[in-house]
Structure 1
Amino acid sequence: MTENETGSQIKIPGRSVITTLSAMGYFLDGYDLSVISVFTLVLVTFKPFHYDPFTESFVTGAALLGAFVGAVIFGHFADNIGRRYLYIFDLIFFAVFAILSALSTNIYEMIIFRFFVGWGVGADYALSPVYTTEMYPDKKRGAGYGWVWTFWSIGAGAAFAIGYVFYMINPLVGWRYTLAIGAIPAIVTVVLRTRMPESVRWDILEPGKSKLSAKDLDSIAERVGITKEDIKAIIAEREKEENIAAGSFTALFKGEYGKRTAIIWFQWILYDIAGYGIGLYSPIILTTLGISHSSSLLFSLIFNMPVGFLGAFGAVMLNDRLGRRPLQALGFGGMAIAMAMFFIASSAIASIGIIIGIAAFVIDYGIGNLGPGDTMGLYAIELLPTKLRSSSMGGATGITRIASFLAAFMFPLISASLGKSSFFFILLGLMVLAFVFTIFFTPETKGLTLEEIALASYKHVHGVPKLILPEAKKEQS
């Protein structure tokens, strides 16, 4: 705790508290985007509402469209007015509209309420992981983001576990409780986040907007592990970026930063098409393989907890040791194998198809969470400077949620017209493309500070994508 110039005391939470409260945003995203799978299973099995493939697609994808809006808007303003206040209140959207979703009386109300649930989820993507990354020392930055990412699997696992319990009690009513329960952790998180200070890096970068004294900033920085050298580097970054408006969307697409934005968007779009194309329909895919409806929820739980969680935990351990780039290549390679196995399982005889399909899910969730599931957001945060960081994360989240919506929208339509095997074959091609793209275009950020990354130039050296620091460029010349 430290005192500011007026004599009041500022509470400085520990790094574990910062990480956990930020991670709850990913928990709620995992819960939200998985719990709708429980509802769609009930919808197609018991038909509580009238629907067709078109409205089914919108039920699954409405929150993704909402996330596009929330991520872009909140990301822009977080770079302008700071992370803290938006970080505190963004999850109110989730709490209110999760309850309203549970009270839906027809398919159209569900679509509308789910759209606004997505606002909160998208907004938090542009805030929580950025806040955590900026409040971590550089040598542990990858682990910090990795911990936040692990909570997605915990949230998804919770959705399927709660969904299973209520499904077994009464599926026609249980889906309402499953949707509504998600509001509880959202409200608790909003209350607890009021203890959080502003991001140190944003405060230093925007001294005219900061409400803290230099002494307070030093105390908070020391508490979270940001050194005096880091502070000097942040000031140097501020001087370099003085002509860039905070949260400028146009700056994301110009020059050096334009190249980085293109890399972030392209690889994340490919990942989300496959990730959500499989994840949002996992219970339905399992039932088509011959697994019972209730068992499909249990399997979906296992795929997230422990399989997905263990993959994400591997990223915690390896992000700062092995690096982002090799993990991402490994993950896309593993996901390509999983898509090939889904393709084979979709046309295999029952028992063999079940075995191959379950193995494909394990590879997809485990290796996918170890690699691109983790690195997509990390790259969106690391590759852009503090003035554009939330806008980068928000923009990338927004555009990839559109891609995710298209995947969710197309699955029922492609499955109905061409068969599920065609959908899996398309995903196989996309994962191979993502693997090749990572090898030839994605740079490594391990070992570099956020400020060094901001000052570096993206180049290919002997065919390998790299971030070259100004000093290294002088030596090469």
Structure 2
Amino acid sequence: MEARDLRHPSTFAHLDRSRWNTFHWKSVLTTGMGVLTDGYDLSSIGVVLPFILASFGQKSLTGWESSGLTGSALVGAALGALAFGPLANRGRKRFYGLDVLILSIAALAQAFVQNIPELIAVRFVLGFGVGADYVLSPVIMGENANARDRGKSLALGFGLTWGLGAALAGLVTLFLNAWGVPSDIVWRIVLALGALPSASVIYLRRKLPETPRYVARVQGDELAFERVVAHVVGEVGPHAHVPVQRDDTSARTYFRSHRKRIAAACVLWFLFDIVAYSSILFGPNLIAKSLGIPSGVFQVMMELAFTVPGALIGLALIDRLGRKPMQVIGFVGMGLSLILFSVMKSVDAAPWIGLLLYGAQNLMSQMGPGSVSASGMLGVELIPTKIRGTVQGWTVAAGRLGAAITAFVFPHLFARMGEGGAILMLGGLCGVAAVLTWILLPETKALSLEEAAEESVA
């Protein structure tokens, strides 16, 4: 397959060379608020889980009720991604806004459940919206971005905003507790407030134009392409009057030629989420309890002192150092931090040492694979426009499957192997993921999306 170099005229050259502008900021806000909601919704359950179980007379943090509450949204997200992946191939913006509408309604409904099974069911629906958002948002953001800033766009819209949403969940919980709100009301308020950020961008998402790459490569509509490029770039000029060629390569051909890339993107996100969600779902309870720190305080400390700074480092380096080095360094750093944490627990070291080591895992996580794999970057950059939606759905589902395995297995692993053994196993998985990244992942920094995806361009 032949891809054009940005130094030569191409359909998307002006788009790829454009400066970061008002449209890009608006795009980050519109997509980022949905991701902030995802971070808030998926993290808040870990913070308020003890309140929920106590409210319904359950005492165990390692029982099936706990696993169902933490895992149902993740199973829903996997199915939502698989459903919305093919839909995204029928139009990126066609279903955009429906995802956050689902999120808003389900988040609000959590406040009115009467028992744990009802909450599990509502969170499954909420997860369905999360999965849809993780398909649509990175694809839209990536297809609108310029080549130089595409990594920063995805890292900002996903890595940073997700961490801010998770931190917000902890802060809201701390505030309500400090205000003296009864614990059986706290969890309902915390979960329901997830409706606000997602509802705020429903209108903005419906108003976003179709992406220029979808218009050109899938629809083959030259007039619509001229209009949308002018909208994205922020000016009307001769750059828009270039030939538009629809991609007539069959989807089957692309699935066959890109099968190794598809497998790499799925496996790497799967491995990352197994490790990451052990911290997201159970860190505020099992890990925090072992360190003697209240769950809300632990959540806020992890996010603001480690995860958000890690996202900022990733944001600064992703388009300079590259995707592959950032992910390898991140996985290696995660693995070393977790292994040292496990050793620390075995020698009964001071809790502050454990806090720093576990925090370092969060920093390296968000700096590396949290800003690459978990931002949806691999499914966007490695895959041609024609099948990007479907494959993005597969990669998201693979990640959520890994997270769901964590939700249902990690508490029992923690109880059976002990904290040190469970954490040591996670550190080993990080080492495996680092090696696979080095072997399987091609570098895509500064390339046009067509070059990065090895898309057939005449």
Which among 43, 51, 56 is matched to residue 48 of structure 1?
56
CA–CA distance in 1 between the matches of 2:350 and 2:421?
16
Higher RCO (Cα < 8 Å, 6 or more apart): 2
Q: Tell me the matched-pair count.
A: 431
Partner of 2:102: 93
Q: Which amino acid aligns with 2:290?
A: L
Name the stretch that deviates more: 280-289 or 388-397.
280-289
Q: Which amino acid aligns with 1:154?
A: L
Q: TM-score, normalised by structure 2?
A: 0.88
CA–CA distance in 2 between the matches of 1:309 and 1:70?
27
Name the stretch that deviates more: 364-373 or 419-428.
419-428
Partner of 2:325: 326
CA–CA distance in 1 between the matches of 2:225 and 2:293?
61
**Aligned-pair distance for 1:309?**
1.4
**Aligned-pair distance for 1:214?**
4.7
C-alpha distance 161-214 of structure 1, shift in aligned 2 (>3 A): closer
Q: Does 2:233 align with 1:222? A: yes
Which among 163, 166, 171 is matched to residue 161 of structure 1?
171
Partner of 1:297: 296
C-alpha distance 120-231 of structure 1, shift in aligned 2 (>3 A): farther
**Aligned-pair distance for 1:50?**
3.6
Contact 1:13 1:195 in 2 (8 A): no
SS of residue matched to 1:432: helix
Alignment of 1:242-321 (within 5 A): 242-245=248-251, 254-293=255-294, 296-321=295-320
Partner of 1:449: 448
Which among 193, 203, 213 is matched to residue 205 of structure 2?
193
CA–CA distance in 2 between the matches of 1:271 and 1:227?
45
C-alpha distance 172-90 of structure 1, shift in aligned 2 (>3 A): same
**Aligned-pair distance for 1:98?**
0.9
Unaligned 5+ segments in structure 2 are 1-20
CA–CA distance in 2 between the matches of 1:399 and 1:443?
20
Deviation track 1:179-215 (CA, whole Å, cap 9, x = no partner) reads 011111111111222321111111112336x696354
Partner of 1:363: 360
Which among 145, 154, 157 is matched to residue 148 of structure 1?
157
**Aligned-pair distance for 1:229?**
9.4
SS of residue matched to 1:259: helix
Q: TM-score, normalised by structure 1?
A: 0.84
Q: Does 2:121 align with 1:109? A: no
CA–CA distance in 1 between the matches of 2:59 and 2:45?
15
**Aligned-pair distance for 1:145?**
0.9
**Aligned-pair distance for 1:116?**
0.4
Unaligned 5+ segments in structure 1 are 1-11, 458-468, 471-477
C-alpha distance 262-231 of structure 1, shift in aligned 2 (>3 A): farther
Partner of 1:463: none
**Aligned-residue CA RMSD in angstroms?**
2.6
**Aligned-pair distance for 1:361?**
2.4
Contact 1:289 1:346 in 2 (8 A): no
**Aligned-pair distance for 1:92?**
1.0
Partner of 1:400: 399
**Aligned-pair distance for 1:55?**
1.9
C-alpha distance 214-191 of structure 1, shift in aligned 2 (>3 A): closer
CA–CA distance in 2 between the matches of 1:326 and 1:225?
38
Contact 2:326 2:367 in 1 (8 A): yes
Contact 1:289 1:353 in 2 (8 A): no
Deviation track 1:277-296 (CA, whole Å, cap 9, x = no partner) reads 12211111343324243xx3
Partner of 1:37: 46
Q: Which amino acid aligns with 2:443?
A: E
Partner of 1:460: none
CA–CA distance in 1 between the matches of 2:370 and 2:76?
20
CA–CA distance in 2 between the matches of 1:102 and 1:280?
20
CA–CA distance in 2 between the matches of 1:155 and 1:314?
18
Q: Which amino acid aligns with 1:137?
A: N
Partner of 1:75: 85
Q: Which amino acid aligns with 1:291?
A: G
SS of residue matched to 2:153: helix
Aligned residues with identical type, % of pairs = 31
Name the stretch that deviates more: 97-106 or 338-347.
338-347
CA–CA distance in 2 between the matches of 1:393 and 1:227?
33
CA–CA distance in 1 between the matches of 2:238 and 2:421?
53
Alignment of 1:173-192 (within 5 A): 173-192=185-204
